[in-house]
Each structure stands twice: as structure tokens, then as C-alpha cells.
Amino acid sequence: MSMLLTFLQNAIGQGISILFGASGEILTEKSGNLNLGIPGIMYMGGIAGLMAAFFYEKVSGNPNAFVGLVISLLASLLVSAFGGLIYSVLTISLRANQNVVGLALTTFGVGFGNFFGGSISKLAGGVGQISVKTTASAYRAVLPGLSNIPVVGKLLFSYGFLTYLSIVTAIFLTYFLKHTRKGLNLRSIGEDPSTADAAGIHVSRYKYIATISGAAIAGLGGLYFVMEYLGGTWTNNGFGDRGWLAIALVILALWKPVNAIWGSFLFGGLYILYIYMPGLNRATQELCKMLPYVVTIIVLIFTSKRNKHENQPPASLGQAYFREER
């Protein structure tokens, strides 16, 4: 029983950064933009928050955990949004190929994270010496009392505020996309930007806002990983392929943010399942790590056979919009 609880708790912990990335990507894709740069943006968000906390604690004689949290959170949001702005300028204004720009942004973001991670490691005294424990303590703070409830307390109330923020964000995005005028306008742009433009909807403005906002949300996944999950430390390439899992989760969730909640927990569980399975060698462990992608492919086959319109991606996804051609 205790092992099952530990597994479920770790599965949720693994899934939160994936949930942030998937929520941001769903918002972006609803505008018709396919941002494959999300993995790089998550690196950028993580290292920006860590650097801001590191320099704050370094210059402050008596750092305050809450101040460090605010500074690192703002830094992560700004740098992640900047990544989304780069993507937007290139694909919306200059109409560059979205796939190429996204892959280039991922490569840039991973390099950005590793370069600055290595730089502050030297300032901190060497690899593994970065520590922003004061700021990280604010991210890892749990609700007093509730986490001590037997069984349910550990499973539901033993996480920092970013965990709950990720779920609230996914629920809010679901409401926004389904029940607000701006959400409906955004969806119409993703389906048919020419018709939306003819109806008086400012296509480029919606695409910019959705892509930049989506990047900022995805960047919180990187911040969660370094602050809440790792406790304020950095390891080059330590984020692994969670960014790509976030993009795969968009398909599993059928472009619905609320589906991404349970999907992220499922991916988190599948991602660490090999740890809890006895008798696996190195090769079979690697096969187990492929399970989230296998599940995604199965869902793709299933939804393609059913061919229901509401389970399909936005019709204009990945296509540049030329107003002159409408």
C-alpha cells in the first residue's frame, strides 16, 4: 500500500511540468500555431527563475523566501514569454516555417539553459554547488495540517503551490476556450483564419497573445522542475524529454486542457514505471520509457478511426496565414 501511494505521489510530481507544457501548447495550437519550441522554452523558464533567485540570494545578506519567489516567478514568465515572442515574430509576421522555427527554438532554449546553468555553477563554486534553498523553500511549502492527514494528506496535499496552479490553469483554459467570446474567437482562428478575419477578428493579435501566453505557461513547467521538484538546483540536460512529452500529451488530451490533467498524471506514472518494476535490465528500462509515446500513438489511431470533428486538431494548425489570399 505504501509503495502504491509513493508511486502515485511521484507520478503526480513527474506530471506537473508536463501539464504546464501541454496547457501552454494547447493554447498556442488553438490559434493555429504549432510551437515545437516548447521544450526549449521550458528550459529557458527554468534557468531564468533559478538565476534570478541565485543572484537575489547572493546579493542579499538575509534573503526572504517570498521575495525570492516573486522575483524568480517574474523572471521565468518574462523570459518564457520572450521565447514565445521570438517564435511569434518569425512565424506570424515573417511567416517562416513553423516546424523549422520551433525545432530551432528548442535547440536554442536547451543551449541557453545549459550555458547559463554552467555559468552560475562556476560562480557557485562548481558543478552541483548551486543552491537557492531559501527561495525553493517557498515553492515547496505545503498547507499546514492537511499534509498530515493519513493516506489522503500525502497523496493530495503534499505539494507546493505550482502543482495546484497547473491544475487551476488547465481548468481555466478549458472554461476560457469553451465559454468566453475571446476563446471562441481564438478557436475560430485556428479552424479558419480567413473566415475569422472576414468577420472582423484581428487574427495576428490573437495569434501573438495566444502564442506568447502559451510560452509563459509552458515556462512555468521548467520553473516547477528546478524549484519544487529539484529543490533549487540545476543539472545540464536534467530536464530530459519532458518537453516532448508535453507536446505528445496535447494529442493524448485531444486538444482539451482538462484532459491534460489526468493525462499528465498518466504520463508521469508511465515515465517512472520502470523504477517500480523489478527485474528490468537497461534495455527493457529504455523500452518502458517509451510507453507514453506508445499510448499517444494508440490514441491517435483510435481517434482517427472514430473521425469525430471535436477530437481533431485545429484545421489550420501549422499553416501560415496570408491575408492577401483569403
Give percent above pLDDT 70 in the chain.
Answer: 97
Residue whose C-alpha is closest to residue 14's, from 201, 274, 194:
274
Torsion of CA 195, 203, 43, 49, to 10 degrees: -140
The pTM of this model reads: 0.93
Task: Give me the chain's average pLDDT, please.
Answer: 89
Cβ neighbourhood burial of 92 (10 Å; 0-12, 13-18, 19+): buried
279 φψ region: left (φ > 0), alpha (ψ -120 to 50), beta (else): left
Give the tens place of pLDDT for each residue, 299-316.
778 777 766 777 788 999
What domains appear along the chain, each with residue ranges and CATH number? 3-311 (1.10.3470)
Highest mean pLDDT range out of 7-11, 131-135, 169-173, 307-311? 169-173
